[in-house]
Amino acid sequence: MTGASRGIGRACALALAEAGARVVVAARDLGKLEEVAGEIRGLGREAFVVAIDLASADSIKEAFATAAREFGRIDILVNNAGVTRDNLALRMKKDDWDTVLGTNLTGAFVAIQQVLQGMMRERWGRIINISSVVAEAGNPGQANYVASKAGLIGLTKSMAQEMASRNITVNAVAPGFIETDMTAALSQALKDNLLGHIPLKRLGRADEVAAAVRFLASDEAGYITGHVLNVNGGMYM
């Protein structure tokens, strides 16, 4: 589970642990990861903490090698880590484009590469990529972020076709606006405007996204692959 230190990543890690998974939590902030791991252990489940920087292929490879060596094979991968560097396209610096695409899309791809051989050997695997409602609907001022999250959907569908014969499913979850630290910083006026575009008239909860991830990781979802599961309150249909 990448990006597991807070928000949606933390909720997904807890949901998978509650479902019986042994969870590797990965992110850059080891302090927050230890807190999440402590919560998981408090449930009577196992958790392993590993530092990872999704902008660095070397860091990704080292993190996955450490997790496999210390914790065993990886059957479920949730690619959740992501960054934003918002600006209008006219003013967007190439570094901001490269950082977001490199972390959100390339980082996810490199992470997937690390688990494929093991999943193929076991003839079982679940890969779940966390995309976004904006990947499907667009969003001004986020050309880099939207492109990265839309790229994840394309990656999901291609990998689903490549891996299906080995009983490895690859799906995406596309959250809408969820109650997290990021949305908490929005002004009330902006929140009110957002709610006007959401048929259910509320922001989503991280645990609602986690429930979708938990389902796609389960045996019950064994005949679902290449799918994008929207968790957005009807914001995009």
* Residues annotated as part of the active site: 145
Rg (CA), the chain: 17
Contact by Cβ (8 Å): 57, 34: no
**Separation CA 172–CA 73 (nearest Å):** 22
Closest of 152, 196, 177, 188 to residue 7, by C-alpha:
177
According to DSSP, residue 2 is labeled: B
Closest of 125, 124, 142 to residue 133, by C-alpha:
142
**Separation CA 108–CA 219 (nearest Å):** 23
The answer for residues whose C-beta is within 8 angstroms of residue 26's C-beta and 6 or more apart is 1, 2, 3, 4, 33, 49, 50, 51, 52, 63, 67, 81
- Residue 88, CA distances (Å) to 141, 151, 176 in order: 4, 19, 21
Pairing mode, strands 76-79 and 125-130: parallel
